[in-house]
Structure 1
Amino acid sequence: MRIRALRRLAAASALVVATSLLGAPQALAEDPAPVTVRPKAVFNDPATSPNAVRDELVTLIRNTEPNGLIRGSIYLFTDGVVRDALAAAHRDRGVRVQILFDHDAVADQKLVDGVWKATGSEFSTLGQRLGRVVGYGESVDADATGSFVLGCPENRGCIGNRGLKKSDGSVEYAINHNKYFLFSKVGATPNVVFQSSANLTANHRTGMFNNAVTVPHTGLYDEYTHYWKDQLTHGTSGAGLDDYYRSTDVGAYKTYFFPRIESDRDTRDTSAVDPREDASTDTVVSLLKNVSCATTPATEIRVAMYAFTRTQVADRLAALQAAGCRVHVVVNGEDGNVGSGVRAALTSAGLTTLRQCAGTDAGSYGVHSKYLLIDGSYLGSPRKVVFTGSHNYTYPNLRSQDETLLKIDQAEIFEAYRQNFDTTLLGSAACQGALSSAP
């Protein structure tokens, strides 16, 4: 039923576009117009529109040009609808489909409390349908070959190879935490980037608030493609990197790719610079330093964040509130999502808004979005700026993992995010909780 519904949705979307371009419905039968993609933001509401982000991705896949190219990089992938859409594009229209998975998404089964349980991963099935599973050590010219899937090496991302030691002495290994897809041409529109906060899992549709952006832009597509190819290269050879920080302006957009090493560039346990205390190389702290609060009306800052443990970011938000900005924060309420230092900084700051979504642990809905909105003085001028992507405000997201942060400087996209924050999140019964100073 879902597949048929999505096909009806894609057909209806094409009909609307064609009608608007041609002006008369009767012309469609003779001369259907191709789909045109424009910059847009998409948000799901697990209570009322759980499939919105997934449906946007499937629509892009189903409208990719024959013999075109789809590339993606994803942390978790258990969604059969997306799997079937990718496989059909490969089989029926000759589209080359090339997807990078984190190693955590490779296994069909995992040992849980002594019992082997199915993971639901689509890695093996999609690999079979595409006809190739690339292994570590294989040389791959992605531009010259066909469809494939690749699993990043174990205990690292495709690029990031650093393990961060936790307070209990255990090690948190790097992952490929990305959630993006690239399309050579969708309908009439070339070079389309789809960046989401959501993994391709049922929980992220039906239990969590998530967001995505669809952006047709050649410069942005080229930057993501450069990064994707670096992920492929390091994921098939070598030991990976402890530092891959790349930031590039492309028109109204700017990309930030991680991991980013601390200032002394020393990852040993004996290093004098603690990776969890070096605010000088925290990208989000640096971005917030570009904000001025000496304005009328006051600059507004909105943060919707799944995992938030970087105390330096919380301290900066508190300082901005004290300087006259209006700071609004919504975090997720599941166990361990908010660090103790972050709790202390945010709850004592007198923020304009501080809310906690209950989360799926409480049998409710959680927020899995990761975005920062700035409405006011940024870099010395009035701006409406969005920062979104896969990047949580945690130390592994900054220091070790394969991650993407995307800046969008477009008023229409900003307004869609503002409405999502002010109306959907703040209006949800699941997100009325107060953040406490202690877990």
Structure 2
Amino acid sequence: FLPRIGPLVMRAPLLGRLAAASAFVLATTLLGSPGATAQEPATTAQEPAADAMRPKAVFNDPVTSPNAVRDELVSLIKDTEPNGLIRGSIFLFTDDAVRNALVAAHRDRGVRVQLLFDNLAVADQKLVDGVPKATGSEYSTLGQQLGRVVEYGETVNADTAGSFVLACPERRGCIGNRTMAQSGDDVEYAINHNKFFLFSKVGTTPNVVFQSSANLTASHRTDYFNNAVVLPHSGLYDEYGLYWKDQLTHGTSGPGLASYYRTTDVGPYKTYFFPRIESDKDPAEGSAVDPRQDASTDTIVSLLKNVTCAASPVTTIRIGMYAFTRTQVADKLRDLQAAGCQVRVVVNGDKGSVGSAVSATLRSAGLTTLRKCAGPDAGSYGVHSKYMLIDGTYLGGPRKLAFTGSQNYTYPNLRSQDETLLKVDNAGIYEAYRQNFDETLMGSPACQGTLG
């Protein structure tokens, strides 16, 4: 979710839980079983132990398997080694099952649990039409049960510290501090929009990364399609760990940063951490480069420039996206369709999810597929995933790639917020995502709409 904030008051859209629905949704996995997970043998030079964890993709379905992503996270927590380490960075957290698993790991097995929250996840109550309403936030409870709440200004050595929770400073992310102007007098402050956890060892498998599109809230289980990857890889774990430590450092001291962007190749993966500033490196008002017009520093546009629309086999791009307002991305998709690629897009239907200019471009582009999942605003199910799949010629060779993470295709997600984008070069993971797109999303009665 992307909270919009007026001059004095933060305004966040409220999405309630849906009434019971009778729609049937087709759910598939790589293995063809009724569960919502898919996995591929690890791509390592040495054959892993028989009980070692393999890279895995996990998908929830609001009808048939609403808890799949959440339950995968709980399982990882429960299987974390005694006296091990769990680190997380999360936007919103109201899930009792995850809270209970984390508390039990800390209390019963001596696991150090270190969590970074966005400041919007702190309040136990908020005013709704002047009346205090419970938010369900787990921040206070976790702080009490884990034994320490870190405040801004404290010095923390995470490698020697025990369990703790930290909330990023108000009206910014832990790193990102930029305010983005919106329509009228509204502004949007930076947030920590991340949704990842790191595990020192799960069972016999060390260095596991869990990256999701879902916040830890009820609506993200029952109202939206979401996804996650579970990736055991020491290099990837270390890269996420460095970013997590940077979040901790900036979240406890200093004013934050307007520009952070960092990318690293680690085996079959590549990380992209945000915010990313426009090309003249000047976030000040009056900058020579408009942050909404600089396609040269839009990471998704840059990735799409690596695609060649070969005639045989045809290059196919699939995108499942919650929020989409970056016109330069839409322009590039239109150009790739015109060049002979097959471009297939499924977006969310809630109000404000798709910008009017993006909608117009996509509708006029003659895309191979353009669908809208109705969303809770229409009393149905929406898509909250944020992934792009490329099957075809990429950087001159045949590839099957999945790009996933926390980042929507909006300007604040690119320019101001703490975000993660992850490239996964693994044919099995790609196939699981393709099935999620082609069969679960495309087969859902909730996702048969068109952009108006």
How far apart are residue 34 of structure 1 and its match?
9.4
Q: How far, CA to CA, are the matches of 1:102 and 1:407 in structure 2? A: 24
Which of 244, 252, 258 is residue 228 of structure 1 equivalent to? 244
How far apart are residue 435 of structure 1 and its match?
1.0
Q: How far, CA to CA, are the matches of 1:295 and 1:225 in structure 2? A: 41
Q: How far, CA to CA, are the matches of 1:314 and 1:277 in structure 2? A: 13
Select the structure with the greater relative contact order (CA < 8 A; seq sep ≥ 6): 2
% identity of equivalent residues: 77
Deviation track 1:181-220 (CA, whole Å, cap 9, x = no partner) reads 0000000000000000000000000000000000000000
Q: How far, CA to CA, are the matches of 2:324 and 2:140 in structure 1? A: 33
Which of 170, 188, 208 is residue 172 of structure 1 equivalent to? 188
Q: How far, CA to CA, are the matches of 2:122 and 2:50 in structure 1? A: 36
- Amino acid across the alignment from 1:294: A
Matched, 1:432 2:433: no
Which of 327, 333, 351 is residue 311 of structure 1 equivalent to? 327
How far apart are residue 35 of structure 1 and its match?
5.4
Matched, 1:281 2:290: no
Q: How far, CA to CA, are the matches of 1:254 and 1:264 in structure 2? A: 25
Indicate the residue corresponding to 1:325 in structure 2: 341
- CA-based RMSD of the aligned residues comes to 0.9
Q: Judging changes above 3 Å, is the alpha-carbon distance between structure 1 residues 35 and 112 closer, same or farther for their aligned structure 2 residues?
A: farther
**How many positions carry a matched residue from both structures?**
404
Which of 388, 395, 402 is residue 404 of structure 2 equivalent to? 388
Deviation track 1:48-92 (CA, whole Å, cap 9, x = no partner) reads 000000011000000000000000000000000000000000000
Deviation track 1:255-311 (CA, whole Å, cap 9, x = no partner) reads 000000000111122112110010000000000000000230210000000000000
The residue correspondences of 1:140-151 to structure 2 (distance < 5 A) are 140-151=156-167
Which of 367, 384, 388 is residue 368 of structure 1 equivalent to? 384
Q: How far, CA to CA, are the matches of 2:448 and 2:172 in structure 1? A: 37
3-state SS, counterpart of residue 332 of structure 2: helix
Kept in 2, the 8 Å contact 1:73–1:100? The answer is yes
Indicate the residue corresponding to 2:373 in structure 1: 357
Which of 174, 182, 186 is residue 202 of structure 2 equivalent to? 186
- Amino acid across the alignment from 2:435: Q
The residue correspondences of 1:49-128 to structure 2 (distance < 5 A) are 49-128=65-144
Matched, 1:410 2:408: no
Indicate the residue corresponding to 1:241 in structure 2: 257
How far apart are residue 36 of structure 1 and its match?
2.7
Q: How far, CA to CA, are the matches of 1:153 and 1:113 in structure 2? A: 25
TM-score, normalization by structure 1: 0.91
Kept in 2, the 8 Å contact 1:35–1:186? The answer is no
How far apart are residue 170 of structure 1 and its match?
1.7
Indicate the residue corresponding to 1:132 in structure 2: 148
Q: How far, CA to CA, are the matches of 1:395 and 1:248 in structure 2? A: 22
Indicate the residue corresponding to 1:7 in structure 2: none
Kept in 2, the 8 Å contact 1:185–1:191? The answer is yes
3-state SS, counterpart of residue 346 of structure 1: helix
- Amino acid across the alignment from 2:379: G
Deviation track 1:383-422 (CA, whole Å, cap 9, x = no partner) reads 0000000010000000000000000001000000000000
Determine which structure has the larger helix proportion and give its number.
1
Q: How far, CA to CA, are the matches of 1:295 and 1:72 in structure 2? A: 43
3-state SS, counterpart of residue 392 of structure 1: coil
Deviation track 1:322-363 (CA, whole Å, cap 9, x = no partner) reads 000000000000000000110111000000000000001111
How far apart are residue 102 of structure 1 and its match?
0.2
Q: How far, CA to CA, are the matches of 1:93 and 1:305 in structure 2? A: 38
Q: How far, CA to CA, are the matches of 1:45 and 1:170 in structure 2? A: 34
- Amino acid across the alignment from 2:196: Y
- Amino acid across the alignment from 1:119: T
Q: How far, CA to CA, are the matches of 1:267 and 1:413 in structure 2? A: 37
Unaligned stretches of 5+ residues in structure 1: 1-32
Kept in 2, the 8 Å contact 1:70–1:181? The answer is yes
Matched, 1:272 2:288: yes
Q: How far, CA to CA, are the matches of 2:122 and 2:349 in structure 1? A: 29
TM-score, normalization by structure 2: 0.89
Which of 64, 84, 96 is residue 48 of structure 1 equivalent to? 64
How far apart are residue 431 of structure 1 and its match?
0.1
3-state SS, counterpart of residue 263 of structure 1: coil
- Amino acid across the alignment from 1:384: K
Matched, 1:212 2:246: no
The residue correspondences of 1:290-309 to structure 2 (distance < 5 A) are 290-309=306-325
Moved over 4 A (4+): none
